[in-house]
Structure formats: C-alpha cells, structure tokens
C-alpha cells in the first residue's frame, strides 16, 4: 500500500521520534499503511498512548539513541527540540535512511505530502522550495474536490483484477449520490444500471465506458436477476471494474444482497457503497418527516407488491408508527381496502410523492379512504413513495422554499 510519503511501507520498520500530536498523527497514518511503527519518546501524548495501547504502534519510553535507527526504512523526527531532531537527521543520513524532519524540512531527505486517498489512487502535494504545509493542504483540497466530484477519469490503464462495486445512487438527483459512489463511477469500465437513480450522471462518463441498462418497470423485467448476476461476474472476470448503479440503497429492496452473494460465490471481489434510501430521502424532500416529536417516534418500510403484512397493518391501525410503502402505486386500491378492513381510521392522512428529488417531483395528499380515487384522478404514476400516518397531514411542517420547489415543476395535489 502506498503511504502519504509515496513509499510502500507495508511490513517495513519505521521509526517515529517524539511524543507529541504531530508524531501521533504520523504514527497513526503509517500504521494505517501497514508499517511496523516504533515510537521513541520519554513521554507520549494521549493519542500516542491510545495507539500503543491498541497495539498499533510500539512505544519505547526513553530518549532516542543512534542505534534506534538500525533497520529502519524511514525515520520521522518531531521532538520539538532542534538539536535532537538535527541529531536524528544526521544519524539517518549516515545510514542512507530517508528522514522527515518536521521542524526543518530543508534538513530532511523526505517530506510528508498533503495527501488524499481516492479509491486506490493516492494524490500527494509537496512544496518544491521552502516547506509550506498550508499551501500544500489547500492545493490537495482543491484536487480532492475535483476528483470526488467525478472531474477525472480514474479508470485503470493497466491490466488488473476485476471487481464489482454495488453503488446506491440515491433517489434520483445527481447531487444526492455519495462522494464514494461518484468516485466509483469515475473508476468504472462497465456500468450496469437501473432506470431509477442518478442516470443523468451516465452522460458525463467517457464514451468508452460500457453502459448496460437492465432497468425494470412494473410488470416488465427484460433482464432477470440471475442474468444480471451473471453479467456482473462475467465482466469482472475479464479484469474490469464493474459498477452496479442502483436507485436508493442496494440493500433496501434493491436485491443487492443477491448480487453480492453471486459475486462472492464466483470469487469476485465486491464492495458495497450505501446510498441515500428513497424511503427516507423522498418524504424529507417533500416536507414529510417520518418521525416528529409529539406525533410519532417510529417508522416501518415495506414494499407494496405483496400487500400489507401484520406489522404494516399495525402501524396504520394503531398509528404508533409511520408506514412507508415503496413500489406500491399499482397496489394502492387494495392496500387502502386492506387497511380499512383491518380497522384503520378512514381519515388517516396519506401522502404520495412522485419522482422525488427531481424537477418533476409532485406530492398528492388524501385521506386513507379516498387516496386511491384521488391518486387515479391525479394520474399518479411510479416511481413514487407512499407515506401513511399522521406525519403525512398537510401543514404539519411549514417547509421553507416550498414555493421554489413548485417553481421548478414540483406540484401538489390535495384531496378537496
């Protein structure tokens, strides 16, 4: 693993001299990179003591001596005493060992980079002249923002092992995908995508990235799940980085677990990047809190395909929890009938949020006993999130900027 020094220090001996916060930060980073770290200092700050207590570094509680450098690949000295640091640097020079001199960079033979890790790419910035850590950190931050925003093609250009990344893309707006998910797209050779999620980001990918659409619509699954699993495995075995881009979160009705198991069974490395679940994000964007003090303190998420189970019915009948229904538009008439038959209050508020997070977001509200009729008259279509419970009542929250959302095309329909 490449460290913030640009060196592969995995399994190699590194000496850190000094017991203050600078030494603690460097020792922790070096341990993270797999180095065998020894810290020599008569006293140590709390962070260093914690590192030593956890077994991540070895602390020798005394003043440094020349023999401590024997066998070290890299030395980092930060004692705060110019004479002690200079002596360590001189000993390192005599041994032809790289040395970072924290107090006087010009007297060292190596410099610590202001580094940032972006997947398996490490970007480091150092000053060529006099040390200027703040400038290096500022440049590093600018580069990091560029890379994390998908501004660079991070694909490998040399052959390597293939892998699969299951990425939750969030509810649809491109800026609601996580930074890690956006970076995964920048590393992708192949993207296997659904019709939901931030599909607009696909237009920003290089033309040579292969995009495979396996999107499903209600009642129409052109690519069965077992074929999707096979696609992921096939492309990864060809040495490609495969991103499986999903709407919402891979593990919330996204069948991400099945895809992970298929990859694991085939011996393909797989990573999961969580996404902002539509079950949580879409109601929030529509001004519908799933919990609200004094109203309700729990929520329950289900899919509408199979109707309501006992736990879901209890949420509606007892009104002790908010019920969130995904993929339930087509089943809305039977869902409302089922809830009413179980004893639910006909006046229970329901909110339906279509195309959440997009410029076409629309909210339809109605009573439970009228919601199916109101939705049909309004032409409600999937994708939509249905929220049942007192939090769905119109006017529960005054949401700042609601008029702005309407101006972007996000409408509202209420049961008159």
Q: Which residues pair with residue 335 across a beta bridge?
A: none
Q: What are the two backbone dihedrals, phi and then psi, of residue 257, each rounded to the nearest 5 degrees? A: -60, -40
> Is-contact 3 22, C-beta < 8 A?
no
Q: Which residues 6+ apart lie within 8 Å of 288 measured at CB?
A: 351, 353, 363, 387, 391, 392, 396, 397
Q: State the pairing for strand pair 190-193/241-246.
A: parallel
Q: Which of 32, 81, 132, 216 is catalytic?
A: 216
Tokens representing residue 160 in the block: 């390597």
Q: Which of 189, 194, 249, 369 is catalytic?
A: 194
For this structure, is 246 an active site residue? no
> Is-contact 66 88, C-beta < 8 A?
no
> Is-contact 243 191, C-beta < 8 A?
yes
Q: Which residues 6+ apart lie within 8 Å of 202 measured at CB?
A: 191, 193, 211, 245
> Is-contact 315 368, C-beta < 8 A?
no
> Is-contact 367 347, C-beta < 8 A?
yes
- Known catalytic residues are 194, 216
């Amino acid at each position: 693993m490449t460290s913030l020094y640009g060196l592969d220090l995995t399994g190699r001996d590194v000496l850190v001299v000094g017991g203050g916060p600078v030494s603690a930060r460097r020792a922790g980073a070096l341990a993270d990179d797999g180095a065998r770290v020894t810290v020599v200092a008569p006293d140590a700050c709390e962070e260093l003591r914690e590192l030593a207590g956890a077994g991540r570094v070895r602390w020798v509680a005394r003043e440094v001596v020349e023999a401590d450098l024997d066998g070290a690949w890299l030395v980092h000295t930060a004692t705060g005493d110019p004479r002690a640091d200079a002596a360590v640097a001189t000993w390192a020079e005599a041994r032809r060992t790289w040395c970072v001199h924290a107090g006087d960079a010009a007297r060292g033979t190596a410099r610590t980079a202001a580094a940032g890790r972006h997947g398996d790419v490490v970007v480091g910035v150092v000053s060529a002249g006099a040390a200027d850590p703040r400038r290096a950190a500022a440049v590093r931050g600018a580069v990091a923002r560029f890379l994390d925003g998908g501004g660079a093609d991070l694909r490998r250009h040399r052959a390597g092992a293939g892998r699969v990344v299951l990425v939750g893309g969030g509810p649809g707006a491109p800026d609601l995908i996580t930074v890690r998910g956006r970076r995964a797209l920048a590393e992708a050779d192949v993207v296997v995508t659904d019709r939901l999620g931030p599909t607009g980001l696909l237009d920003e990918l290089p033309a040579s990235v292969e995009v495979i659409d396996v999107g499903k619509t209600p009642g129409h699954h052109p690519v069965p799940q077992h074929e999707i699993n096979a696609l992921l495995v096939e492309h990864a075995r060809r040495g490609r980085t495969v991103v499986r881009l999903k709407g919402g979160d891979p593990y919330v009705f996204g069948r991400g677990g099945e895809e992970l198991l298929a990859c694991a069974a085939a011996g393909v490395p797989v990573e999961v990047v969580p996404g902002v679940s539509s079950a949580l994000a879409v109601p929030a964007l529509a001004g519908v809190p799933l919990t609200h003090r004094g109203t309700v303190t729990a929520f329950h998420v289900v899919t509408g395909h199979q109707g309501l189970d006992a736990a879901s019915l209890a949420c509606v009948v007892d009104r002790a929890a908010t019920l969130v229904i995904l993929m339930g538009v087509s089943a809305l008439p039977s869902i409302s009938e089922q809830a009413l038959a179980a004893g639910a209050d006909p006046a229970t508020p329901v909110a339906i949020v279509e195309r959440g997070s997009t410029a076409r977001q629309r909210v339809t509200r109605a009573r439970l006993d009228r919601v199916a009729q109101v939705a049909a008259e309004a032409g409600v279509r999937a994708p939509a999130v249905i929220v049942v419970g007192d939090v769905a009542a119109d006017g529960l929250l005054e949401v700042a900027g609601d008029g702005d959302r309407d101006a972007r095309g996000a409408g509202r329909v209420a049961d008159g």
